[in-house]
Amino acid sequence: MNAEEIIKLNKEALYSSLSSSDKFGKFFNKSILHYATIMEVFSYNKLEGISYEKLCQSIPKTLGSRSSIQNLLNEGLDQKLLFKVENTQDKRIKNYFLSDEFYHTVIDWIRNQKKIYNS
């Protein structure tokens, strides 16, 4: 598959996810900050989760402010795409995780990306 075909497939997937009723795709592709945050949470999902402070340290400030990250997390919690759990060592800290369904949706997205780039 050449570069133009890959770009065309990615554009079609992005645009269709934003206009569909799929809450996962809409949230994931809503902004570059949403995309980056989901990648960060995904990276820690099988570990201890990721705290708000760690997210704020990991995501470049050019992508979004601390308050934007907090609003995004609250949006994800409200939509049941994310959940948070009290940290076992420090009860003041809440660690964020992707919901099981959203985690598997991201896994499917990764598989599709592999197919696109390996063809």
- Pull the structure tokens for residue 44: 């820690």
Residue corresponding to tokens 């994310």: 82
Neighbours of 82 (CB within 10 A): 22
* pLDDT recorded at residue 119: 65
What average pLDDT score do residues 62-81 get? 96
Amino acid 6: pLDDT = 79
Q: What is the pLDDT of residues 20-30, one digit of tens each?
A: 677 888 898 89
Q: What are the domain boundaries of the chain? A: 3-118
Stretch 8-20: mean pLDDT, rounded? 76
Domain 3-118 bears CATH identifier 1.10.3720.10: no
8, two tokens: 């065309």
3-state secondary structure of 96: strand
Sequence-separated (6 or more) residues with CB below 8 Å from residue 51: 87, 93, 94, 95, 96
Q: pLDDT tens digit string along 35-68?
A: 999 999 999 999 999 999 999 999 999 999 999 9
**Average of per-residue pLDDT across 97-108:** 92
Written as six digits, the tokens of 70 are 């907090």
Q: How confident is the model at residue 85 (pLDDT cuts 50, 70, 90)?
A: very high
Torsion sign (Cα): 112, 113, 114, 119: positive
The predicted model scores a pTM of 0.85
Angle at 38 between CA 32 and CA 13, to 5 degrees: 60
**Which among 34, 33, 32 is positioned nearest to 24, based on CA atoms?**
34
pLDDT at position 80 over 90: yes
pLDDT grade for 118, boundaries at 50, 70 and 90: confident
